[in-house]
Structure 1
């Protein structure tokens, strides 16, 4: 739980009254442009930053005073982590597991992150995606309840990103609570139970990926291609046309599509490329972070 969290650097307010709560087992993504305050927020929750005001409760503890028992209950995947390049995957996990009282089995962790074939490989020989999977393995080997993932797929190719998503989903299904920061809208859409959008040190929106920013209530945009506009003036819609592309806004897409398809049947018209779209998460994000409402 975070309540009225504030943090300043000199005269610059990095956080200005941030409040939110994460439930056990949730995957929550924090989105925001550079300087929005998301990294500062996460570093406070991880216990790395001092000099803030407000209330922060992480697994029942103040992150600055939780001590060793608290640290064992969290796992952190940083954007960059330094590990000994001349150790093998198994060796580094065995070393780290000794830091914890109830670690997970090394073999099972390696299998879970998809590194079975690299178990005896030197860390320096791993690809970028494999290194990131090792970072996750190091974060979960202590069997934490809460995992922080900071930009987990930055620099990944599309295939590696998809594999990482499957790993996050597997961790979520195992009951872990996950706080994720990302710049990728599709990543937040695919993984999150809830999304928090930050801008200028404040939370500007919060909700499920499908609901945030009023997405479900927003008008849909219906588009189709019409090769012959002869009967378009009789269409039961207020349309715009550009070339052979016809579009219109709809507050009730079921009703309007019923009327549109009825008109098309009456005049034997093919509604080629018919699409119904609502604002994407990226549309909402841009609107919120660039000062829109």
Structure 2
């Protein structure tokens, strides 16, 4: 089965069971490619296989754009972050039932987790452009457009794992949707991530670890932390993609970034650095 094939499938049954109507909060029934609740609110799957449960437009600069998504898909396909994907799959090795990826993007990391387990996956992201790809990333993956800062259209205690990779962290919702024995896995960039690229990328917040603890400390206890660090050689094309897929993409016209990217001619040794932390629910 090709990625394009399973993008045309209905949502996986476990995903349908977990989702809730974003109008009234009722469970859904699936009729072909339509989700319908008992109050007759209905949502159709897009042609690419995802469902949009939002009711409002997203402000500009919030969701990843189609060019950002294309850059990310090509960069990840090059294998530059395979070491992170492998560590996430290892951390989630005991996944069963449902894995929710909060801020899933193209579904790259969630697909790797599903390949290593028998679980199904729900990709949540505010970018429809990203979820067009996520919906096709794995046959047991379903994708729904949603703003992670809002209460999620997801039932209580439905997930064995919540995955969060470089994405907004909504501690109360992580806690609510996880089973009592569920696992939260959070990946964040290290302080020296892509440091050789200078101001072509946005600097990593030096207080990120402190902010992470503050965001999750009321709801979770950390059970493990792994540092993943490598030096890789990136081609000029990969360097452009690394810049164009991240937050710096919204600021390419500042500081001559666009012109400097266009002038790149040589490969460069670059540090890729991540932390992968695991948490269990408290309270």
Q: Same fold (TM over 0.5)?
A: no
TM-score (norm 1): 0.27
TM norm structure 2:
0.28
